[in-house]
Amino acid sequence: MLRHAPIRSKVVAILTLPLVGLIALAAVGIGTTLARGAEASRRNDLAQLAVRGNTLVHELQAERTLSSDWVAARPSQAVPRDGMLAQRVVVNRTASALEQFVGRLDTDAYDPRVRQALDRALGELRELQADREQIDIGASSATAAAVEATYSAVVSALLDLNAAIAAGGDDEALFRSVSSFVALSRLKDTNDLERGFRISQLLVPDPEQQQVKRFISFVTERESWLAQLRLNTTPEQLSRYEASIKGPEVSRITRVERAGLSGSPADLREIGTGEELDRVWFAAMTERINKLRRVEREFAAHLLTTSRSVASSANRQTVMWLAGMAALLLVTLVVSLLIARSLIDPLRNLQDTAEGVARELPKAVERIQRLHEPNEGAMPAPGRARLLDASARDEISRVARSFNAAHEVAIRVASEQAALRRSIADMFQNLAQRSQVLIRRSLELVDELEKDEARPETLERLFQVDHLITRMRRNAENLIVLAGADLPNPWDEPVPLNVLIRSAIAEVEHYQRVEPLPTNDLEVAGHAAVDVIHLLAELIENATAFSQSDTRVTVAGTPAANGHVVEIEDKGIGMSDDELMRANQLLTDPPAVDSALSQRLGLHVVARLAKRHGLRVQLRHSWYDGVTALVLLPDRLLVYPATDTGTVDWRKGQPAHHAWSAVPRGGAVAVMPPPLAWASQSAGQPHVPLRRHTRQPASDEPQPPSYQLRRPESDQQRSSLFEPAPDNEQPPPGPTIPEP
């Protein structure tokens, strides 16, 4: 799959895998950081829940004390009920605020232990109202101990919730803050229970010492939570706690505790008796509890500060992590793009430059190959295409240097081939010129023999030799054309087109099979006359060579929109569509001389001559399964004769003194010819050739004069070339072709 993929796709594929891995790791890290931030936010909510729950615990402890005192004194009604009822209102308000706060929390995201503790605490709070009703109606089960146990269950559930909040956290500072806060709450609760104990009960003789044991359990539990508090608090918090609980009540509490723990009622009586001892103990414990409440608030504030700090730090870390990962991904992406660009841009430049070289190299090679043509004048410096930048040391530059080396080799080889072709062309031209000298001398010798010979048989043989030498001259001229040189042109004045056609027919081996049809009375510029003769002769030679010996080749002419068309039609074996397309391509854009020249030598010569004078040559299918060659002679090479009534508009058949621009040339007028839309048809399309029927003149109609068809070799011959032969004389020796 990647084998045919472009370089960009391959580079992207190389960079995609590490980028995907980095993005995956970043996603995991971001997910972990977000989870840590969310957990810190939940811990902050739980810390607020713990503080709110601790406030409710404080109010419940007060309601517990008031309720147990009212139940214990209910028979005598020594304790008023108003304080208990007022405290219930405070508890209800605090509990409602706690439940509303819990309702805003997403409890499903919390630890199962926290959810269980929260459900238990809320359940105990809902059952509290029923317990209050039992206390109000004075049920037998509503004793002071039972009331104390009921409220203690609710308080214990709330304190267990705080303990569950402390568990499971991974932040040490927050864990210690929550643990110290829970330990202080527990310590305060044991002090509150101890405050509710009536010390005067220790004065009553009790063989089993049940009250002493209960008092000892309170003191023992308090000391246990105090030890837990000392273990979890920071040194600053511990110092603050110890400084806050100092006071005169401490000594009184310590004295009462020592006396109560000793189990000797006498020691307690030294402090006070009955209700007086209870008042001293309650006052001292209340003072301690109030101080513990102030410390508890400080711990709660510290807990909230710590939890907010942890949440803020987690959020800050999340943001920093996200920013860092985004920056890392951005930097990685930018670096990857830069690396990819450092690879793709040189490759793209290599591609663009290589394509430019591919476009320019053939032109440079063509310029070099044209250097061997004599008509190009002085030899210019060989062109060379743009080279690639190979200044770097990477592999791409090494490829560019290799490409430059290949390009230089191509230029050098092209130069060597051009030099070789130039030498071959020079050799062709030299051999052709030597052959022309011999051919000219041979023609002169044959002319002398023809003048001195009177025997018809010998004269006929001399005519055949003359014709063979003429064909040899055309072959020598082919070499001159292929060599890029100009053929010798003895004519300066315009030459009639029908004379050029007959001269071309005279240079063909089977000229007897060629039938020239009448053409319009027009002339061809003298400087192109020899090349037109040679071009037509090659096309007529091909027509006779590739058709049966019993068939005829017709040559006709007709006006066209931008010139005059000469049509050469045979009835031969024809050509396929592909062969016609290749032949017409060769005629349109003749290639340089190469190994394929020998296969279509005549077409190469025709193409070069047509290109030299701006002629257009096309081959098409004929009606007779043969080939029709169309030669378009442009207007700039044609001269149309003038008439007595002015120039003739062949399109409408009316005089057109002002419709056409007439340019005098040698006594003639150049006239725009009628249209012929043959040039718009492609070579592959079927073509219906122009038909010209042979016109048989009447017996009394004057016959057109015959013309000498041999090319002039001297000025004297040139001046009398187109003069009609006298009626009472035979034409000079040489092949003649009468007009039909």
**DSSP code per residue over 660-675:** S--EEETTEEE-PPPP
Domain residue limits, the chain: 2-333, 504-695
- Residue 569 pLDDT: 93
Torsion angles phi and psi, residue 675, rounded to 5: -80, 155
- Residue 429 pLDDT: 64
Q: Point out the least confidently predicted range of 300-304, 451-455, 685-689.
A: 685-689
Whether the pLDDT of residue 320 is over 60: the answer is yes
- Residue 594 pLDDT: 57
Name the range with the highest mean pLDDT among 215-219, 471-475, 583-587, 669-673: 583-587
pLDDT in tens, 152-164: 888 888 888 877 7
Whether the pLDDT of residue 211 is over 70: the answer is yes
pLDDT in tens, 229-248: 888 888 888 888 888 888 78
Smallest CA-to-CA distance from 652 within 632, 630, 675 is with 675
- Residue 602 pLDDT: 81
> Is the distance from CB of 631 to CB of 574 less than 8 angstroms?
no
- Residue 619 pLDDT: 93
Whether the pLDDT of residue 400 is over 60: the answer is yes
Report CA Rg, the chain: 63
Binned at pLDDT 50, 70 and 90, residue 23 comes out as confident
pLDDT in tens, 70-101: 888 776 666 778 888 998 999 999 999 988 98
Q: Could you tell me which residues are beta bridge partners of residue 199?
A: none
Of residues 719 and 630, more confidently modeled: 630
- Residue 633 pLDDT: 93
> Is the distance from CB of 501 to CB of 554 less than 8 angstroms?
no
Distance, CA of 519 to CA of 559 (rounded, Å): 9
Torsion angles phi and psi, residue 411, rounded to 5: -65, -45
Whether the pLDDT of residue 708 is over 80: the answer is no
Tokens of 526: 């003298």
CA atoms within 13 A on the CB side of 393: 0
What's the CA angle centered on 612, arms 608 and 615, to 5 degrees? 90
What stretches of 620-725 show up as alpha helix (H) in DSSP?
715-719
Whether the pLDDT of residue 501 is over 90: the answer is yes
Of residues 120 and 488, more confidently modeled: 120
Q: Point out the least confidently predicted range of 97-111, 472-486, 629-643.
A: 472-486
Mean pLDDT over the full length of the chain? 75
Tokens of 14: 């190389």
Evaluate whether the domain defined by 504-695 bears CATH number 3.40.50.2000. Answer: no
Residue type, 136: D
Tokens of 165: 């909040």
Dihedral of CA atoms 343, 347, 348, 351 in degrees, nearest 10, equals 180
Q: Point out the least confidently predicted range of 269-273, 304-308, 632-636, 639-643.
A: 269-273
Across the range 652-663, mean pLDDT stands at 31
> Is the distance from CB of 193 to CB of 148 less than 8 angstroms?
yes
Cα 7 → chain centroid: 11
Residue 634: in which H helix or E strand, if any? Answer: strand 627-634
**Strand, helix or coil at 618?**
strand
**Cα dist from 378 to 84, 373, 375, 613, whole Å:** 128, 10, 9, 22
Of residues 680 and 262, more confidently modeled: 262
- Residue 168 pLDDT: 62
Distance, CA of 404 to CA of 408 (rounded, Å): 6
